[in-house]
Amino acid sequence: MKKRVAVLISGRGSNMTALIEAAKAKDYPAEIVVVVSNRPDAAGLGRAQQAGIATALIDHTAFGKDREAFERALDAQLQARQIDIVCLAGFMRLLTPWFVERWSGRMINIHPALLPQFKGLDTHRRVLEAGVEEHGATVHFVSAGMDEGPVILQKSVPVLGSDSEATLAARVLEVEHQIYPQALRMVAEGRARLP
């Protein structure tokens, strides 16, 4: 039985697309059942529809400041589709402890840096400013703190002297698209789990 996966997005959805592509393989242990966006203008919604995947829009602005009300609507969507695993893929909402706890061990995220270094936004710019020689991407279980939680997979890329934010981002994105499907496979097969 394949694990039933929901991918949560807010934007272009290139990691979402990588997961959809990987899940086409017969022996892949997970199927992408639904893509959920909190933003109506997320380009990934159209890409998911083109790929024949069900989509849902849960616009967080409709819930004002009530984060939990938004998350209850999201959770209802996930329950209705009998989701086993949630993949955050460029999902730009902080989640409350209630939601994180509810999906503990069953929710993973991709971050464009070698965690625990460079949590948060603008990682490529900050990496260039810091002058480090190595950068990369991380897939991790989601826990209460932002960009925290046990690492499932990481892959590094070199930072070149000639790099701009854009060239570095593109190099990192390429490895994101490699490790996210690999990490989801590990979770779906029970080879990666919370201690």
Q: Catalytic annotation on 111?
A: yes
Least distance between ligand GRF and beta carbon 174 (Å): 11
Residues that bind ligand GRF (CB under 6 A): 9, 11-16, 44, 89-90, 110-112, 173, 176
Minimal CB distance to ligand GRF: which residue? 90
Of residues 72 and 93, the one with the C-beta less far from ligand GRF: 93
Of residues 15 and 84, the one with the C-beta less far from ligand GRF: 15
Least distance between ligand GRF and beta carbon 180 (Å): 8
Of residues 12 and 119, the one with the C-beta less far from ligand GRF: 12
Least distance between ligand GRF and beta carbon 90 (Å): 3
Of residues 13 and 149, the one with the C-beta less far from ligand GRF: 13
Least distance between ligand GRF and beta carbon 74 (Å): 17
Q: Which is catalytic among the residues 111, 135, 140, 177?
A: 111
DSSP for the chain reads -PEEEEEEESS--HHHHHHHHHTTSTT-SEEEEEEEES-TT-HHHHHHHHTT-EEEE--GGGGTT-HHHHHHHHHHHHHHTT-SEEEESS---PPPHHHHHHTTTSEEEEESS-TTSS-SS-HHHHHHHHT-SEEEEEEEE--SSTT-S-EEEEEEEEPPTT--HHHHHHHHHHHHHHHHHHHHHHHHTTSS---
Active site members: 111
